[in-house]
Amino acid sequence: MTVPIKEPVLVLGGGLAAVSFVGTLRSQGWNGPICVVAEENEAPYDRPPLSKEFQHEGDEDKIRLDLRQVKDVEWIRNARAVSLDLRGRQVTLADGRQLSWGTLVFATGASPRTLPTLANGPAPVLTLRTLHDARQIRARLVPGAALTVIGGGVIGLELAATARAKGTNVTLIEATPRVLNRCAPSTLAELVELTHRTQGVDLRLGCTISSLDGDQLDLSDGSKLRTDLIVVGIGVLANDTLAREAGIATDDGIFVDGHGRTTCPDVLAIGDVTRQRNPVSGRFERIETWSNAHKQSATAARALIDPSTPPYTEVPWYWTDQYHLKIQVAGLAGGDQEVVRGDPTSGKASIMQLRDGRIVGACCINNAREFMALKRLIAAGARLDLERLRDPTVDAVKLVTQA
Ligand SMILES: Cc1cc2nc3c(=O)[nH]c(=O)nc-3n(C[C@H](O)[C@H](O)[C@H](O)COP(=O)(O)OP(=O)(O)OC[C@H]3O[C@@H](n4cnc5c(N)ncnc54)[C@H](O)[C@@H]3O)c2cc1C
């Protein structure tokens, strides 16, 4: 069943979710009016390379998003939406312009948390979210420079790995006793910590910054550190203020259903700004991954044209590249039982989480083929023979057919 979309479609934010949403509307044959309001004054680009390849190559053309499907779209760049009138169906931009909408889409993503106690001194204090940030960091990652990364999450660790490969000295400070606290099991975290230490990163776990004076950091372990650059990577907050102020249900993220619908009619939200039901945990969560921004947005666009579109239920997953480790993680970071296939220190292995005998999470290290199979098993909530699951000589693809 197709329904007429209320025109015009106004999208706030010009990142991956916006491009995927608009591209899907067009590829599905909808040719009504679309306007995208984008705060950044950039042609849309992919963020994952910003902490990886881009730091080496600096090639901006290579990271631009493919806009071939994004036809006949009015794109307003360097423009920030600052207020929203739900009843009058109008959005006001920072420069005073007012835009009308029939369907409004929040694709406003998230912004890095900052440490207000750290002010720029001789050593700049940066975050890494935008191409602008990445350019500033890249210019400073030179051999022999001293980089301090605050936060042992995915982005901080990726940047540490890239910086080491460029000959920069790296200290990584993490407040909790382990890295990847929120998004990976401790078995994987231990491997990642060992790899970073082997590559020469000075990893300070359970440590925080007491103060920054000029280019000198005082740490909670009593030590002092000279630094040329500080990059803070301590997570992000959803850019949901406009929605919240307008009365749409939010909680660090705009609540959406499997079609991207918010609690307000004709208002959708997609990508990092959303809080949606995680099909594995059953809880409403923020899923800050490339795959989610890409596919959840495409589903929301399809459902707008055809409400019988199945809701978005993909198992959340992400990848991270650090040194020789190509890591893929799906589902939950913890269960009541862990099964390891292979030896993680050998450079190729899979670490699986089970709950009540069902597989709920998987991390694969240099093992993309197995990852696809394990992701399918998680989606199926499969119960597996533990001995076979543990045995790396049993083909994971066969486990899928047998499950
Ligand atoms: C450095 C880095 C590395 C990453 N690596 C990986 C990875 O390896 N694997 C993985 O799965 N994921 C990775 N991610 C996550 C992935 O890139 C994000 O999940 C994805 O980009 C989210 O897309 P989005 O469109 O929802 O949000 P965004 O890309 O954040 O886009 C939102 C846009 O909206 C704009 N905006 C905000 N408010 C307004 C407003 N009021 N008016 C107008 N515009 C506004 C913002 O400026 C921004 O340009 C990485 C992210 C970063 C930052």
Cβ distance 240 to 250 under 8 Å? yes
- Helices H / strands E in the chain, number of each: 10, 26
Pocket of ligand 1 (CB under 6 A): 12-18, 37-40, 47-48, 50-51, 80-81, 107-110, 128-129, 155, 239, 271-272, 288-291, 293, 318-320
Task: Give the SS3 label for residue 258.
Answer: coil
Could you tell me which residues are beta bridge partners of residue 150? Answer: 173, 232
In the chain, where the domains are located: 9-111+236-305, 114-232, 324-402
* Band of pLDDT at residue 382, cut at 50, 70 and 90: confident
111 alpha carbon – ligand 1 mean position (Å): 8
Whose CA is closest to atom 27 on ligand 1? Answer: 109
Sign of the alpha-carbon torsion through 95, 100, 106, 107? negative
* Band of pLDDT at residue 198, cut at 50, 70 and 90: very high
295 alpha carbon – ligand 1 mean position (Å): 14
Share of the chain above pLDDT 70, in %: 99
Give the C-alpha separation, 238 to 131, whole Å: 19
16 alpha carbon – ligand 1 mean position (Å): 7
Residue 301 has pLDDT above 90, yes or no: yes
114 alpha carbon – ligand 1 mean position (Å): 16
What pLDDT, on the 0 to 100 scale, is given for residue 338?
Answer: 95
* Band of pLDDT at residue 45, cut at 50, 70 and 90: very high
Q: Which atom belonging to ligand 1 lies closest to the Cα atom of 292?
A: 19
205 alpha carbon – ligand 1 mean position (Å): 28
Over range 229-246, report the average pLDDT: 97
Give the C-alpha separation, 113 to 394, whole Å: 44
390 alpha carbon – ligand 1 mean position (Å): 37
Report the alpha-carbon angle 350-164-195, nearest 5.
30
Task: Determine phi and psi for 358, rounding to 5 degrees.
Answer: -105, 145
341 alpha carbon – ligand 1 mean position (Å): 33
Q: What is the pLDDT of residues 302-347, one digit of tens each?
A: 999 999 999 999 999 999 999 999 999 999 999 999 999 999 989 8
- CA–chain centroid gap for 67, Å, is 21
Residue 372 has pLDDT above 70, yes or no: yes
Q: What is the pLDDT of residues 135-173, one digit of tens each?
A: 999 999 999 999 999 999 999 999 999 999 999 999 999
Give the C-alpha separation, 197 to 305, whole Å: 51
* Band of pLDDT at residue 37, cut at 50, 70 and 90: very high
Report the alpha-carbon angle 322-345-392, nearest 5.
110
Given 3.40.50.1820, 1.10.10.10, 3.50.50.60, 3.20.20.105, which CATH number is that of 9-111+236-305?
3.50.50.60
Ligand 1 pocket test: which of 52, 82, 136, 272 has the largest number of ligand atoms within 8 Å of its C-beta?
A: 272
CATH topology agreement for domains 9-111+236-305 and 114-232: yes
Q: What is the DSSP letter of 76?
A: E
Given 3.40.50.620, 3.50.50.60, 3.40.50.720, 2.70.150.10, which CATH number is that of 114-232?
3.50.50.60
What pLDDT, on the 0 to 100 scale, is given for residue 401?
Answer: 66
Whose CA is closest to atom 41 on ligand 1? Answer: 81
Q: Which atom belonging to ligand 1 lies closest to the Cα atom of 112?
A: 53
Give the C-alpha separation, 266 to 249, whole Å: 14
Least confident of 55-59, 197-201, 269-273, 341-345: 341-345
Q: What is the mean pLDDT of the chain?
A: 95
What pLDDT, on the 0 to 100 scale, is given for residue 383?
Answer: 87
What pLDDT, on the 0 to 100 scale, is given for residue 35?
Answer: 98
What pLDDT, on the 0 to 100 scale, is given for residue 295?
Answer: 98
Residue 197 has pLDDT above 70, yes or no: yes
Ligand 1 pocket test: which of 20, 39, 240 has the largest number of ligand atoms within 8 Å of its C-beta?
A: 39
Residue 403 has pLDDT above 70, yes or no: no
Q: Which atom belonging to ligand 1 lies closest to the Cα atom of 242?
A: 41
Ligand 1 pocket test: which of 10, 40, 47 has the largest number of ligand atoms within 8 Å of its C-beta?
A: 47
Sign of the alpha-carbon torsion through 224, 225, 226, 231? negative
Q: Which atom belonging to ligand 1 lies closest to the Cα atom of 93?
A: 42
Considering just the CA atoms, what is the radius of gyration of the chain in Å? 22
Given 3.40.50.720, 3.30.390.30, 3.90.1150.50, 3.10.20.740, which CATH number is that of 324-402?
3.30.390.30
Give the C-alpha separation, 199 to 43, whole Å: 35
Q: Which atom belonging to ligand 1 lies closest to the Cα atom of 47?
A: 17
Least confident of 119-128, 193-202, 242-251: 119-128
Residue 121 has pLDDT above 80, yes or no: no
Q: What is the pLDDT of residues 61-91, one digit of tens each?
A: 999 999 998 999 999 999 999 999 999 999 9
For residue 326, which amino acid is it? Answer: K
Over range 90-96, report the average pLDDT: 98
Whose CA is closest to atom 14 on ligand 1? Answer: 48
